[in-house]
Amino acid sequence: MYARLTSALALACLLSAASLAADKVTDPQIAHIAYTAGVIDIEAAKQALKISKDKEVIAFANDMLRDHEAVNKQALDLVKKLDVKPEDNDTSRALTKAATQEREKLAKLSGTDFDKAYVANEVAYHKQVNSALETLLIPSAKNAELKDLLETGLKLFQGHQQHAEHVAAMMK
């Protein structure tokens, strides 16, 4: 069941990355994708904080909320400094749609079922975002400051993936 919950989001990420790879992704599109990915995890963390009673899940969700809000603030500050307007795109829209569907599925769960599904989704989501950062977004970024922010984000999000994997292993 948990694999099905995360498969829609993972599939959307893969299809979006593949469609972007066929096109040239621009810095304004990259900025929008990165910001959107952060917002998605902020919303997921807020949902977990409302529903979960598990102290490890709550601690993890608080970390996601804090870290993704901080990175998104840095991203907003950077685009303002560079006078770049983030550009909405198919990838951002696909990510948002898949995340909305995922939150709706998770909202129907409670207790351990919710906790396991939330954490499994976080593992899958961070794997996909990290892959997109490594293979598409960072290599495509033209602006050095944007590239630096994405590289810093990648290191942080790789830690998030490991943390999610650790929490998931504890729940088995």
Q: Report the share of the chain in percent with pLDDT over 70.
A: 87
> For 32-76, how does the pLDDT look when each residue is reduced to its tens digit (9 = 90+)?
999 999 999 999 999 999 999 999 999 999 999 999 999 999 999
- Is residue 84 helix, strand or coil? coil
Q: Is the pTM of this model over 0.85?
A: yes
Please state the rounded mean pLDDT for residues 162-169.
Answer: 97
Q: How confident is the model at residue 16 (pLDDT cuts 50, 70, 90)?
A: low
Rounded distance, CA 147 to CA 149, Å?
Answer: 5
Nearest CA to 2 out of 125, 159, 97, 158 is that of 125
The reported pLDDT for the residue numbered 85 is 94
The reported pLDDT for the residue numbered 24 is 83
Cα dihedral 49→55→57→60 (10° resolution): 90
